[in-house]
Amino acid sequence: MSSIPEATRPVAADPITADVTALQAAVRGAVHRPGDPGYPSVTFNVAVAQNPWAVVDVADAADVAAVIGFASAHGMTVAVHATGHGATVIGDATIMVRTAALDDCTVDPQTRTARVGAGVRWQTVIDAAAPHGLAPLCGSSPTVGVVGLLSGGGIGPLVRTVGMSADHVRSFTVVTGTGAVKQATPEINPELFWGLRGGKSTLGIITEVVIELPPIAEIYGGALYFDGADADAVLRGWRNWAQGLPREVSTSLALLRLPEMPDVPPMLAGRLSVAVRVAVVGDLAHGPDLIAPLRTLGTVLLDAVGVMPYAQVGAIHADPTSPMPAAECGTLLREFTDDAATELLRVAGPQSGSPLTIVELRLLGGALADRPAVPSAFCHRDAAYTLHTIGVLIPPIAEMVIAAGVQTVEALRPWAHGGEMPNFATTDDPAHIRRCYDEDTAAWLSALAEQHDPRGVLHVGQVVR
Ligand SMILES: Cc1cc2nc3c(=O)[nH]c(=O)nc-3n(C[C@H](O)[C@H](O)[C@H](O)COP(=O)(O)OP(=O)(O)OC[C@H]3O[C@@H](n4cnc5c(N)ncnc54)[C@H](O)[C@@H]3O)c2cc1C
């Protein structure tokens, strides 16, 4: 179980008597207090309560340092917000650093890199890189923030070919919990470079990142949407097909119960469907043969697989783009056997009555499982699949949604890996956060946090302490 929103929010231990004018004088960006039009931020998951003492639209790294200094002096914590796709509860003893104004995005086709500000979303980099035939390695949704995804490692629709997205980071600019502005590369402050890739905001607030852009102009990919009545055959057929896939192919499957909405194709709305997603990189001419067995697994409601520009990579998962109240659950699986498929169908298949909007399995392995050239705090590369559920918290099914997510994860417990991935465990619950790391990594992250954030100014949300 990951991010079931909490009913309660942190409250300042003592009344906060800080003077907002002192904070305004210390920063170039705008400061918003409760009641101001710029307060609070809209989060992607609107079920998450965020009531910071103030929101600061930081203009640069110096602003971040000033906010950290102010918070430290007044016994407050500092949380960072880019797009709200991974929002956790924020209370009134916290100042929110909002990074939207850090919107620089420069692509250098010579070095095949992009310099990206902390407020930039993936689609912006994708659009800037596309004319050069280069591919920023985003997750399933290009509306997610670049830095937020990389801070949790990041796995995307091409994961088996390219591995973890943060393995393609060249450098960070980061403001640590002491307010120090630092560069982090494999050679400069290597311990920060290690911990910022997987450790979320434990060690600092990133203001800029330089990422590599592999030359991938086109892929053979998309999604086949099957009638939910064929879920049994499609799930088992996909599982068999995916055994021993070459690393040039990445794939996932989702049981979808999509509502009638403008973005949802009519043939998929108000019913159970099964999406089988694929992305083939390299020799695209092999694509049709590779996925031919999938096309015969059941009644195809919509075939949206073909050669596509990488710039349309977001169409593979077609994730929701509008804010909603949601509950997410998930775990990593070490294997997905035929018995596991039977269990998944029992709790989420056509006869289950499941209220979950999305129940998704992503095949891992391939390049993700390789030993990385530069180590990082991202763990559990040996997991075989991610299992992730999303339900919409609308009365009267809200309680059912939470229970169904838990039930789905519990049903697959016999095949669980034991770990979670930071980006799919959006939570401030220490038990979930702990499962994202092996023992050594958690100990190192905690020790580095003591060094780079000795006063615990960043000790809020999804951090390892
Ligand atoms: C629809 C959807 C699809 C997704 N698909 C994928 C996927 O395919 N693969 C994947 O790996 N993840 C995926 N995620 C998870 C997503 O990568 C994380 O939730 C990520 O943290 C979102 O970052 P954000 O900046 O957009 O969101 P925010 O809510 O603004 O930030 C979330 C967290 O990211 C960290 N963070 C953000 N900015 C900074 C910063 N400047 N410095 C340090 N830390 C920072 C902080 O811990 C912050 O609390 C998905 C999430 C959603 C909602």
- Beta carbon of 3 within 6 Å of any ligand 1 atom: no
Quote the CA–CA distance of 326 and 167 in Å, as a whole number: 30
pLDDT beneath 50, residues of the chain: 1-13, 15
Task: Give 283 Cα–ligand 1 centroid separation in angstroms.
Answer: 32
Per DSSP, the residues of 341-372 read HHHHHHHHSTTS----SEEEEEE--GGGGSPP
If you take atom 44 of ligand 1, which residue's CA is the nearest one? 201
Q: Do 221 and 264 meet the contact criterion of CB atoms below 8 Å apart?
A: no
Task: Give 150 Cα–ligand 1 centroid separation in angstroms.
Answer: 8
- Beta carbon of 44 within 6 Å of any ligand 1 atom: yes
Nearest to 4 by CA among 81, 79, 61, 88: 88
Cis peptide before 454 (omega within 30 of 0): no
Task: Give 149 Cα–ligand 1 centroid separation in angstroms.
Answer: 4
In 81-230, which residue ranges form alpha helices assigned H by DSSP?
Answer: 122-129, 146-151, 159-162, 190-196
Measured between alpha carbons, how far is residue 102 from residues 72, 97, 146, 181, 462 in Å? 23, 11, 12, 15, 22
* Within this chain, domains 20-98 and 105-215 share the same CATH topology: no
If you take atom 37 of ligand 1, which residue's CA is the nearest one? 148
**Closest atom of ligand 1 relative to the 165 alpha carbon:** 11
- Beta carbon of 319 within 6 Å of any ligand 1 atom: yes
**Closest atom of ligand 1 relative to the 207 alpha carbon:** 41
**Closest atom of ligand 1 relative to the 362 alpha carbon:** 8
- Please return the burial class of 307, using the count of CB atoms within 10 Å of its CB with bins 0-12, 13-18 and 19+: middle
Quote the CA–CA distance of 278 and 290 in Å, as a whole number: 10
Six-digit token pair at 189? 């402050």
Q: Do 460 and 77 meet the contact criterion of CB atoms below 8 Å apart?
A: yes
Quote the CA–CA distance of 199 and 210 in Å, as a whole number: 18
**Closest atom of ligand 1 relative to the 463 alpha carbon:** 47
**Closest atom of ligand 1 relative to the 121 alpha carbon:** 26
- Beta carbon of 45 within 6 Å of any ligand 1 atom: no
Task: Give 169 Cα–ligand 1 centroid separation in angstroms.
Answer: 16
Close Cβ partners of 106 (under 8 Å, ≥ 6 residues apart)? 114, 115, 128
In 349-438, which residue ranges form alpha helices assigned H by DSSP?
Answer: 398-411, 430-435
**The pLDDT value given to residue 16:** 67
CATH no., domain 105-215: 3.30.465.10
- Beta carbon of 147 within 6 Å of any ligand 1 atom: yes
In the numeric block, the tokens 């609070």 are attached to 40
| Residues in a beta bridge with 220 | 280, 307
Six-digit token pair at 82? 């880019």
Task: Give 338 Cα–ligand 1 centroid separation in angstroms.
Answer: 33
**Closest atom of ligand 1 relative to the 462 alpha carbon:** 47
- Beta carbon of 140 within 6 Å of any ligand 1 atom: yes
Helix/strand/coil for 389: strand
Task: Give 422 Cα–ligand 1 centroid separation in angstroms.
Answer: 9
- The dihedral sign for the CA sequence 114, 119, 124, 128: negative
| Residues in a beta bridge with 208 | 117, 173
* 357-377 pLDDT per residue, tens: 999 999 999 999 999 999 999
Distance from the Cα of residue 396 to its chain's centroid: 28
Task: Give 62 Cα–ligand 1 centroid separation in angstroms.
Answer: 23
Per-domain residue ranges for the chain? Answer: 20-98, 105-215
**The pLDDT value given to residue 9:** 35
Close Cβ partners of 371 (under 8 Å, ≥ 6 residues apart)? none
Domain 20-98 fold = 3.30.43
**Closest atom of ligand 1 relative to the 143 alpha carbon:** 26
- Beta carbon of 388 within 6 Å of any ligand 1 atom: no
What is the C-alpha end-to-end distance of the chain, expressed in Å? Answer: 20
Which amino acid belongs to residue 96?
M
**The pLDDT value given to residue 13:** 46
Q: Do 310 and 320 meet the contact criterion of CB atoms below 8 Å apart?
A: no
Our mutation pick for probing the ligand 1 site, out of 85, 202, 328, counting the most ligand atoms within 8 A of Cβ, is 85
Nearest to 423 by CA among 200, 269, 104: 200
Task: Give 87 Cα–ligand 1 centroid separation in angstroms.
Answer: 8
* 232-267 pLDDT per residue, tens: 999 999 999 999 899 999 999 999 999 998 889 999
Which amino acid belongs to residue 346?
R
If you take atom 7 of ligand 1, which residue's CA is the nearest one? 139
| HSE (side-chain half, CA atoms, 13 Å) at 295 | 12
Residue 279 φ then ψ, to 5°:
-145, 115
Our mutation pick for probing the ligand 1 site, out of 277, 423, 464, counting the most ligand atoms within 8 A of Cβ, is 423
